[in-house]
Chain A
């Protein structure tokens, strides 16, 4: 067993080739983004509330990583902390290595150059993140102006291309439309088009389909997936829906109570989860169970920010908890080449139907 959070190279070796992990300069591409021991707490001093606690993970070029968890697990805060969006609410500690540069130490001005250009972000509510008073065309060209050297006509051409790329019919005609003239799914496409304007290497997607209907969700997920494959763009996707994660992500990181509890390739996590929380989450999804049978349900509710237990956050709801669990926080340790786990008593999930 290796200590996951203190090994700088684990991220690079996570998914594909564990043997090469110790040599970061080998043929194995290094992690594009490496987050090490990232903590974020709201407020300062005595009354501060720890929202995320020593989160470490890495994203490789072209990879789609899913951050999965329930409300209050800290998944959105983790995502927002990467771009320094949470700094004004409290303290952010740890390293966020982006191309050998620690984003956490950068000034806001320096971060501005990376935001939107190298790392772009899309949100759950496209309406609240688009400016309602500006036309969609203007908002895209604005972004192109800030991040590329294209001239006016080229920018317009590029804007049409982008709208076309994200599947907005008669793109040229819609440049002059305002956000409210688009439907929810179309707005999300516009947001993605704006995010793509600078050809980012990493896209941070915060519940991009939660506000959408399933048929539209499917379209948007397919779009993100295709764009990632075509442009070699990495994606970190925050979602609470295991189905969404299963259908889009290469790797999944499960969060609970502000900590990562299990990280690994999507098939490992969804077929053979070891952490009791991952198991419980998976089993409470009513798929492949007899209709109207009693669903597996985790007892209790997720802890709030202010009342997280001192030991493992999941211990009070965990059926496999031992006294040690309520005293000590388990570290995220590498259990196999690809999977890391934070649990003293890993369980086995009987694959498929567990009834």
Chain B
């Protein structure tokens, strides 16, 4: 890689949803409460790599994906794309950014307009962004369908005529139609059957190599994330607790949460029993995140400092960056 600048940089990104206050709160004039979904995310995407994002439901990984494509207006922190601050000030800026940063969604049944044929979906994307002159659009639609290995007669069909896996291919084709540089895949294959998952994952990897795409792969299936990612970020309650090369994070996780999470995935080998005891307790509510290290309530290694001070991401030799006060001893 000649380009030393990362393609996308996220600095201290925060996102809090305001709750609908109950009437009592309004009457008593209590301060509005916030669901603190993202609490200072720092990460970057190198050109051509896949960054996997894992975490439990409610940890903020989907919100992160949606913030990155501008579906949620920015609150705190910065997103730098190609060293330019992405502010999404005007529609034109937003549109131009989205042409280069595209997203694919989890639910193959709701992410396509049920009343538009595949041809219409692709045609719309190509013509709105003026990707091709009007006359060349039909040829380009055929090319896109070839690219995602759908038959060309798919153009005339409505989404309900396709299986879940084929619909995800259509969603991929739609994202690719504007020739983006970054693809955000939010649980792209989670809703699919195992045998179909493999087809779509193979397609994604193949497209990445052929088109030089940069991918943020958000998923809860750890085996899949390990398989597709160059680097992995583990998120807990809206903060990254560990980020580093996929190999090292999966084979020797350091943060106690990553250890527990990555070990919880049941192996298909019946005799491979995990040595790490399962995590006790459950995710605290993102409405009142514990002070200090958010994980201290469930952590077997927690000490006084963990209850008081929030650990920051620090680089550890032979590992990635870890946000844990005891990382040095655990590593």
A residues lining the B interface (CB < 8 Å): 70-71, 183, 185-186, 213-219, 221-222, 240-244, 246-247, 266-267, 270, 280-282, 284-287, 289, 291-292, 294-298, 301-302
Interface residues on B, range: 35 or more
> How far, in Å, is A328 (CB) from chain B's closest CB?
24
- A183–B246 CA distance with the chains assembled, in angstroms: 31
Q: Given the complex, which residues of A lie within 8 Å of B194, measured CB to CB? A: 70, 240, 242, 281, 284-285
B residues lining the A interface (CB < 8 Å): 50, 56-57, 163, 165-166, 193-199, 201-202, 205-206, 220, 222-224, 226-230, 246-247, 260-261, 264-271, 273, 278-279, 282-283
Q: Given the complex, which residues of B lie within 8 Å of A70, measured CB to CB? A: 193-195
11 contacts between A and B (CB under 8 A): A70-B193, A70-B194, A219-B279, A240-B194, A247-B267, A280-B195, A282-B268, A287-B267, A287-B269, A294-B205, A297-B199
Q: Is the CB of B193 within 8 A of A240?
A: yes
Q: Is the CB of A284 within 8 A of B223?
A: no
Q: Which residue of chain B lies nearest to A68 when distances are taken between CB atoms in the complex?
A: B194
- A242–B270 CA distance with the chains assembled, in angstroms: 10
Q: Is the CB of A297 within 8 A of B198?
A: yes
Assuming A185-B282, A242-B194, is B266 touching A297 (CB within 8 A)? no
- A214–B55 CA distance with the chains assembled, in angstroms: 9
Contacts across chains A and B counted by CB atoms under 8 Å: 118
- A321–B193 CA distance with the chains assembled, in angstroms: 22
> How far, in Å, is A207 (CB) from chain B's closest CB?
13
> How far, in Å, is B290 (CB) from chain A's closest CB?
16
Q: Given the complex, which residues of B lie within 8 Å of A221, measured CB to CB? A: 266
Q: Is the CB of B266 within 8 A of A281?
A: no
- A294–B203 CA distance with the chains assembled, in angstroms: 9
Q: Is the CB of B260 within 8 A of A284?
A: no
Q: Given the complex, which residues of B lie within 8 Å of A280, measured CB to CB? A: 195
Q: Is the CB of A186 within 8 A of B227?
A: no
Q: Is the CB of B268 within 8 A of A287?
A: yes
Q: Is the CB of A243 within 8 A of B266?
A: yes
Q: Given the complex, which residues of B lie within 8 Å of A295, measured CB to CB? A: 198, 201-202, 227
Q: Is the CB of A286 within 8 A of B270?
A: no
Q: Is the CB of A213 within 8 A of B266?
A: no
- A270–B205 CA distance with the chains assembled, in angstroms: 27
Looking at the complex, which one of B198, B199, B264, B271 makes contact with A215 (CB distance below 8 Å)?
A: B264
> How far, in Å, is B214 (CB) from chain A's closest CB?
14
Q: Is the CB of B195 within 8 A of A213?
A: no
Q: Given the complex, which residues of A lie within 8 Å of B199, measured CB to CB? A: 297
Q: Is the CB of B220 within 8 A of A214?
A: yes
Q: Given the complex, which residues of A lie within 8 Å of B269, measured CB to CB? A: 246, 270, 287
